[in-house]
Amino acid sequence: MASLPPHLLVAPEALPRVERSGTGDAAAMTGAQCHASLIELYGVAGQIRARLIELQEAERLRAADDGKEKD
Amino acid sequence: MGLMPTGTLAALGLGLSVAAGAGGYFHGLDVGRQRERAAAHKDIDAANAARDRLRTLIEQAALKHLEAEQARQSTQREIVRESERVVERPVYRSQCVDADGVRLLDRAAANANGEPAAASAGGAGGAAAR
């Protein structure tokens, strides 16, 4: 059975923490930081989603090939 | 030249039969082994061909996904650049999330990343009071 491409086996990127000004009780976000954080979050989520779709397709190909071999 | 005794002739005949039988047996054994080897080679070749075919399909799919990922990243960069321009407007300078909100967002991120700290991290204690 062919193995999956290595880039599909890499652990997914961790989701980023939101941008902020200050720390602890003084931490707060401006609208600009909120906007940038959401865009970054969508970026990482999009990357993880794309990899999941690719993994699912690779698995479908493997399953279809297994089915062909059994026929 | 005298005639051979019947016993000797019989023994000779028996010996020849045994030798022929053994020869046939070993020849058959050899042919069987050759067939077995040929069948095993055929199986291995078929498995190799199937694996190569699958690898090619997966590589083709990976190439298609790589192109899609490059397009996604390019659009993401474009969005980030545009966002930097948009947030210069005064409305984005006002505060929209306070410390409790930030703590909750950090907890949500830790939870999404499977960090054990997410469950026990201090919540937005002050949020409910406000």
- Least Cα distance to B65 among A59, A33, A52, A50 occurs for A50
pLDDT score recorded for residue B130: 41
pLDDT score recorded for residue A35: 97
pLDDT score recorded for residue B121: 55
pLDDT score recorded for residue B122: 53
Is B94 an 8 Å CB contact of chain A? yes
Best mutation target among A21, A35, A51, A59 (most B Cβ atoms within 10 Å) is A35
Average pLDDT, integer, range A29-52: 96
Average pLDDT, integer, range A3-25: 92
**ipTM of the complex as predicted:** 0.84
pLDDT in tens, B89-105: 999 999 999 999 999 99
pLDDT score recorded for residue B70: 95
pLDDT score recorded for residue A44: 97
DSSP A5-64: PGGGSSPPPPPPPPP-BSSGGG-BEEHHHHHHHHHHHHHHHHHHHHHHHHHHHHHHHHHH
A18/B105 touch (CB, cutoff 8 Å), yes or no: yes
Q: CA of B34, closest CA in chain A: separation in Å?
A: 25
Report pTM.
Answer: 0.70
Which residue among A5, A28, A43 sits closest to B76, beta carbon to beta carbon?
A43
pLDDT score recorded for residue B127: 42
Q: Rounded distance, CA A48 to CA A71, Å?
A: 35
Adjacent-strand bridge partners of A29: B97
Which residues, numbered 101 to 120 in chain B, qualify as contacts with chain A under a Cβ-Cβ cut-off of 8 Å?
A: 101-103, 105-106, 109, 112-113
A contacts of B76 (beta carbons < 8 Å): 39, 42-43, 46
pLDDT score recorded for residue B2: 59
Who has greater pLDDT, A6 or A30?
A: A30
Mean pLDDT by runs of 10 across the 130 residues of chain B is 75 86 87 92 90 86 91 96 96 95 95 84 46
